């Protein structure tokens, strides 16, 4: 099955800004955008951003998202130790009629 492409890892310093990317195609990211999920070790994923770039209730304003054609981006400002986690993007693939995921980016906060 087709999947989305994410860099496997990213390291940033405390209080800096991290930008994570997610590349798909016209049938998924380019169609309706991508959602972003955060997963800490041993826990289920949690939605950070819906594909319309809105945040669920309770998610910090330090998280924001954008999209340019087939690439979605998640920006985290003022990195905190608790931001160290795996981040996944996901999009609805209209050719498959299925949700597809990226392989995840492991964010390390130094």
Partner 1 sequence: QVQLQESGPGLVRPSETLSLTCTVSGSSISSDYYWGWMRQSPGKGLEWIGSIYHSGHTYANPSLKSRVTISLDTSKNQFSLRLTSVTATDAAIYYCARDASGAPADYWGQGTLVTVSS
**Choice between 81 and 97, CB closer to partner 1:** 97
How many chain residues bind partner 1 (CB under 8 A)?
A: 25
**Choice between 86 and 110, CB closer to partner 1:** 86
Is residue 47 helix, strand or coil? Answer: strand
Task: Report the 10 Å Cβ neighbour count for 82.
Answer: 10
Tokens encoding 79: 């990195």
**Choice between 34 and 109, CB closer to partner 1:** 34
Does position 20 bind partner 1 by CB under 8 A?
Answer: no
Does position 22 bind partner 1 by CB under 8 A?
Answer: no
What's the closest the beta carbon of residue 19 comes to partner 1, in angstroms?
A: 20
Q: List the strands of the sheet with 18-23, edge to edge.
A: 18-23, 71-76, 63-68
Residues 76-105 touching partner 1, rule: CB under 8 A, are 88, 90, 96-104
CA distances from 31 to 11, 15, 53 (A): 30, 33, 14
What's the closest the beta carbon of residue 9 comes to partner 1, in angstroms?
A: 14
**Choice between 44 and 81, CB closer to partner 1:** 44
CA angle 78, 79, 80 (to 5 degrees): 115
């Amino acid at each position: 099955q087709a999947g989305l492409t994410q860099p496997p890892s990213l390291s940033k310093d405390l209080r800096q800004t991290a930008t994570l990317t997610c590349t798909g195609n016209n049938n998924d990211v380019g169609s309706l955008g991508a959602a972003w999920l955060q997963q800490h070790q041993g826990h289920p994923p949690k939605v950070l951003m819906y594909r319309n770039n809105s945040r669920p209730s309770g998610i910090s304003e330090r998280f924001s998202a954008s999209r340019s054609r087939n690439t979605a981006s998640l920006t985290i400002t003022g990195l905190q130790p608790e931001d160290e986690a795996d981040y996944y993007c996901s999009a609805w693939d209209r050719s498959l009629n299925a949700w597809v995921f990226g392989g995840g980016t492991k964010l390390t906060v130094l």
